[in-house]
Structure formats: structure tokens, C-alpha cells
Chains A and B, each alone.
Chain A
Amino acid sequence: DAGITQSPRHKVTETGTPVTLRCHQTENHRYMYWYRQDPGHGLRLIHYSYGVKDTDKGEVSDGYSVSRSKTEDFLLTLESATSSQTSVYFCAIGQGATDTQYFGPGTRLTVL
């Protein structure tokens, strides 16, 4: 299995609070991704990174920001959490040569 960890694995927070999710890899892969998964919507890309300090928006980026100051870490921040951001969040990594992505275990976020 690819060396990807996500923290925290579970989080319950209140509307309006900031939340940061962390993705950490030990594979030295160039590409990192944040997805959210909701019933009926499959996987939706929030943001991705193609190198340190190089990030771009995905299809559902509103309300989210990311940062990547080191190859191994990719942070996802919800500046002011809303109930619509209750979801399971997955981080993935990829080399880029073959487009293959490897997934972390996920973070279940509940916004009350």
C-alpha cells in the first residue's frame, strides 16, 4: 500500500468554525489531490497540487483552500465550515507519469 495517512480520521465540528485536514505521504509523489465523497455524487475533486506551492481548483472548490509547503504534506482548510461540507474526504497521491492515483483511508467530517 502507498504510504498515505490522513488526520484526523474523524472530526465533529460546529458551523462557522475553521477546520484543517492533513494528508501526509512518504512516497515523494509529485501530485496530491483532495476529494469529497457523498452518496449519489461519487468522488468530486476539490483541489489538487502538482508540486510544492503549485495548486489548482477542482470542480467543487468553493469554501475550501489548500496549501502545500512540502512535498509530503497537503492541507485542506475549510475556512468557515457549513453543514453542506459534512462528507468523507479522501486524499490521493500520484506520480503523474501514468495518472495512477493511490488513496488514503479518508476523514469523516461532520459539521453540526
Chain B
Amino acid sequence: AQSVTQPDIHITVSEGASLELRCNYSYGATPYLFWYVQSPGQGLQLLLKYFSGDTLVQGIKGFEAEFKRSQSSFNLRKPSVHWSDAAEYFCAVGERAGNNRKLIWGLGTSLAVNP
């Protein structure tokens, strides 16, 4: 069965430092991959997605992610973190079967930003 693993439950970084959030997936075919962000008390917002083509994808808020098929990874990066980036981050992979379209979710990584 397809699965998504986010190895880090909590990460704390200092404002201005670089960030990398890890995501590993298990999927037989070429995956559709996603990163979402959830600020406290809010719904989930799409940060970026990968379908095909360039393996480095750019998203909103200065985030990027790189798809590495050989490592089954889709890690999220940001060169300089802002205090407003403190949130929960979720990685997901698309699952298809007939008419069904679902996302398989990781459990999330909680990001804290120190001033």
C-alpha cells in the first residue's frame, strides 16, 4: 500500500536560518506529490505540487521542493525562515484507482521558529 513518512515530528529553527523538511513516499508509479501548510486554527493551504517534468518545483511563500525518484523523497526547503512560517506541514502523495482520487498523507511536521 502507498504510504508517506515524515520522519521529523517537530523541528525548531531560528529566524533567518535555512529549513529542510523531509518526506519519503512509497508508490509504485510516478507519483503526484504535494506539500500543504496549516497555520494554527486554519485549514490546509497548498504550498506546491509535483506532477512531472522539472524535479525542482517552486511554491508560494518562497518554498521549493525537490523530487528524487532514486530516494523516494520530496523534501521541502526554504533558504531563510520567517517567524510567520511557524506552522504544521503535511506531505501527501496522490493515489488513483479507477474513478477514485485520494491523497495519502504523512502525519505532519510541526515547525517552530525562534526569534
Contact stretch, chosen from B18-26, B63-71, B100-108 = B100-108
Tell me the interface secondary structure of chain A in the complex: strand
- A11 and B42 alpha carbons, distance in the complex (Å): 16
Q: Mark B87-106, 1 if CB is under 8 A from A, else 0.
A: 00010001110011111011
Please give the distance in Å from B4's CB to the nearest CB on chain A. 9
Q: Which of B22-51 contact A (CB under 8 A)?
A: 32, 34, 36, 42-46, 49, 51
**Is the CB–CB distance between B103 and A99 below 8 Å?**
yes
A90-B44, A105-B42 are known contacts. Are A42 and B106 too (CB-CB below 8 A)?
A: yes
**Is the CB–CB distance between A48 and B43 below 8 Å?**
no
Number of interface residues of B (CB under 8 A): 23
Q: Which residues of A contact B (CB under 8 A)?
A: 31, 33, 40-43, 45, 48, 50-51, 54, 56, 58, 90, 92, 94, 96, 98-106
Question: Can you list 14 A-B pairs, Cβ within 8 angstroms, ordered by A?
Answer: A31-B101, A41-B107, A42-B107, A50-B99, A54-B99, A90-B43, A98-B32, A98-B49, A99-B94, A100-B34, A102-B46, A103-B45, A106-B42, A106-B43
Q: Which residues of B contact A (CB under 8 A)?
A: 32, 34, 36, 42-46, 49, 51, 90, 94-96, 99-103, 105-108
